[in-house]
Structure 1
Amino acid sequence: MSTRRARLLPSVILLAAFSACTTTGGVSLRPDGSPGPQECSEKALEVMRYLKMRVGDAALAELDANQIRSRRITLYDGPIESMLREDLGTLEATTRLYGQVWTSGPQVVIRWYEAHPPDGDKVPICAVARLSDDQMRKLPESKPGTAILDGSVAAAYVVDSFR
């Protein structure tokens, strides 16, 4: 880790320690079961500024830390633990991302609300999983409450609100 990151990390950890935990509760659902709009907390926006994470920045992430490098993965509605494969802002590769998965709509929706760097405490963030060419579209054999995807990797995009 660079000296600059090492000096910045304690400030971010302290800031996160005094913040309320970001929750995924209370998200409205659209008619197809996918999540509706949701604002990022002010604390997450502040922490992302300190972490040098700007809206639109992206890095590859393993969608499910339990299915790394799988050709096909099955995701379930509910909580998810993912892992960065590349640095994102000052978050290093192998940082864990914690969030929520929705599988009811035509495409899987993953929103990440927290990051846990390998050498620090969890901090609030706002990021979404994105892939082009309909690669987040669940396969037809997916059962209700699940989504089967070809591949285990997507891009984690930094956002300032969920749409």
Structure 2
Amino acid sequence: MIRVPVLAISSLLLLSAVLACSTGGVSLRADGSPGPEECPKETLKLMRFLRMGIGDAADVELDLNQADTSPITLYDGPIESELTSSLGIFHPPTRLYGRVWTGGPQVVIRYYEARPPDGDITPICAVARLARGQMKKLPGSLPGTAIVEFSSAGVWVVDSFR
């Protein structure tokens, strides 16, 4: 009889872990876009040390597999992008690693790590943005995907994700 509750608890823990991994541990809004998320305090300290101020910006190629293409298709999940201009101490072709959410009306990309070509992975908090609603999904975007007009965007340093 002990096995049934243990099995049930184990199943619930496994389900919780799977759900947390599928959303990156971020709560989702009703439209499928990610909810607020704090930037870890240690990451904020490190960004200050690296002279990366909140609001500092650079240019980024969103998906290296679709560079200089228009339009591109982004998928829910991990993304590898590349700086095309400098962001603090990070210079092109530093890679940015993050996550894409396509559930809402606009694509949301949050970056959590930077890796210069000759360096180690460094935690960061940054977001991809384009003005005038240009991160909106184009018609024809299937569930779990987003077709967007441009392959490049701006990336901004943030102190939290909203």
- TM-score for both structures, normalised by structure 2: 0.84
Residue 25 of structure 1: CA displacement? 2.9
Residue 98 of structure 1: CA displacement? 0.3
1:79 is matched with 78
Cα distance in 2 for partners of 1:36, 1:152 equals 25
Aligned pair count reads 141
Q: Which amino acid aligns with 1:95?
A: T
Residue 145 of structure 1: CA displacement? 0.3
Q: Which amino acid aligns with 1:49?
A: R
Task: Please give the secondary structure, in 2, of the residue aligned with 1:66.
Answer: helix
Partner deviation per Cα, 1:28-63 (whole Å, 9 max, x = no partner): 000000000000011211221122110011001001
For the pair shown, which has the larger CA radius of gyration, 1 or 2?
A: 2
2:112 is matched with 113
Q: CA RMSD in A?
A: 1.2
Q: Which amino acid aligns with 2:78?
A: P
Greater helix share, 1 or 2? 2
Q: Equivalent residues in 2 for 1:11-160 (5 A)?
A: 25-160=24-159
Percent of residue pairs bearing the same amino acid type: 65
Runs of 4+ in 1 over 4 A off after TM superposition: none
1:17 is matched with none
Cα distance in 2 for partners of 1:116, 1:25 equals 20
Is 1:51–1:91's contact at 8 Å kept on the other side of the alignment?
A: no
Q: Which amino acid aligns with 2:110?
A: R
Partner deviation per Cα, 1:39-94 (whole Å, 9 max, x = no partner): 00112112211221100110010011111111211000000000000000111111
Gaps of 5+ in 1: 1-22
Cα distance in 2 for partners of 1:99, 1:151 equals 18
Cα distance in 2 for partners of 1:154, 1:51 equals 23
Cα distance in 2 for partners of 1:31, 1:25 equals 16
Is 1:94–1:117's contact at 8 Å kept on the other side of the alignment?
A: yes
Residue 118 of structure 1: CA displacement? 1.0
Task: Please give the secondary structure, in 2, of the residue aligned with 1:70.
Answer: coil
Cα distance in 2 for partners of 1:66, 1:110 equals 16
Q: Which amino acid aligns with 1:162?
A: F
Gaps of 5+ in 2: 1-20
Residue 124 of structure 1: CA displacement? 0.3
Cα distance in 2 for partners of 1:95, 1:47 equals 17
1:15 is matched with none
